[in-house]
Structure 1
Amino acid sequence: MKTLKLIAAGIIFIAVSATSQAQVSVNVNIGTPPAWGPAGYTNIDYYYIPDVQSYYDIRNSQFIYFGNGKWIRSRHLPHHYRNYDLYSGYKVVLNDYHGRTPYIYYKDHKAKYYKGYKGKPQQTIGYRNNDKHVVYKQKDKKDKHYDKHNSKHNNSHRGKGNDDKRR
């Protein structure tokens, strides 16, 4: 009888341990937002980019856009938007959708977030410097993003023969 109680307790302990591990592994695998993504958001999977009528899948680092009669996933924007500035363009954070096909709401997104749509002002995770993308991750909320219009900061790192590459 004592042996049966020990076996039952062991089985319950193993079952509880396995359940706890499964929950942890599901929450650990989260994609990294791009440097041009809006700062201050967690647990999101997609942005909608109104100016290019495309989505960005954060987990898979892919754009999703409609072309040739179907939705296409690609690491790059369509050719006619390759020069689009993702840093200055507005990104709608889709914080209420976590599936695999955000484009099922495309008609709603396109109507609500038209080309040229600007919502609340956004800061990006990284910033631009003289048309070259330079990425600096925030260490904490007190860190300030570089402002390319701040000439004192802009000129303080330049010297003769220096092409302003900072690491």
Structure 2
Amino acid sequence: MKKIAILLSMVISLGMFAKSADAQVNVSINIGSQPMWGPVGYDYASYYYFPDIDAYYSISKRQFIYLNGNHWVWGSSLPGRYKYDLDRGYKVVINDPDPWTRAPYYRQQYGRYKGWYGKQTIIRNSNDPKYYQWNGRGPKGNNGHDNGNGHGRGNDNNQGHGNGHGHGHDRR
């Protein structure tokens, strides 16, 4: 009877330890939710701020937030008047809620990045393995996606005739 009580207390202790350890490991990652034109290096991002046009992008809602007169407006795309290149324009990652409500702060803090076109690697162009699943890039043997001419080395024991689907120019 004493052995059963000790065993039962050990099981309960292990269960409580496992539960507390589980509660401590809570990491948010939204790499796959970020647009292909988003900057690399961030496992999580709530918003992007575009210093060149003083606008924001909500990653979770996939909506742009921009000024129309004196009011912040949400839209699935930027109005044509912006003529903004999302691939080349500089993006600042912001993880504060509703950053447009503190627009003067962000203008002052990140205004120095105006005009930094093309100075930021975007997810689409990244060679970082953590983005391969989303940007189709990666080393040879990555399911035949070698960004080349369709002669990837996927599923063919590296014989050069895999089921590859090239995406653009071969950069070897």
TM-score > 0.5, shorter chain as reference:
yes
What corresponds to 2:37 in structure 1? 36
What corresponds to 2:122 in structure 1? 124
Is the 8 Å Cα contact of residues 29 and 43 (structure 2) preserved in structure 1? no
Question: In 2, distance between residues paired with 1:38 and 1:87?
Answer: 9
Query: AA paired with 2:49?
Result: Y
Other structure's SS at 2:123 match:
coil
What's the offset of the Cα at 1:54?
A: 1.5
Query: AA paired with 1:107?
Result: P
Query: AA paired with 2:14?
Result: F
Pair 1:6–1:104, CA change in 2 (3 A): farther
Gapped regions of structure 2 (runs ≥ 5): 126-133, 140-146, 151-165, 168-172
Q: What aligned pairs does 1:89-108 form with structure 2 within 5 A after superposition? A: 89-94=89-94, 98-108=95-105
Pair 1:111–1:29, CA change in 2 (3 A): closer
Identity %: 30
Pair 1:116–1:42, CA change in 2 (3 A): closer
What corresponds to 1:12 in structure 2? 13
Q: What aligned pairs does 1:1-167 form with structure 2 within 5 A after superposition? A: 1-24=2-25, 26-27=26-27, 29-31=29-31, 32-67=33-68, 71-78=72-79, 80-81=81-82, 83-94=83-94, 98-114=95-111, 117-119=114-116, 121-126=119-124, 136-139=135-138, 167=167
Query: AA paired with 2:102?
Result: Y
- The TM-score normalised by the length of structure 1 is 0.56
What's the offset of the Cα at 1:28?
A: 5.3
How many residue pairs align between the two structures?
135
Runs of 4+ in 1 over 4 A off after TM superposition: 66-73, 135-138
Query: AA paired with 1:11?
Result: I
Question: In 2, distance between residues paired with 1:19 and 1:108?
Answer: 39
What's the offset of the Cα at 1:117?
A: 0.7
- The TM-score normalised by the length of structure 2 is 0.55
Pair 1:86–1:19, CA change in 2 (3 A): same
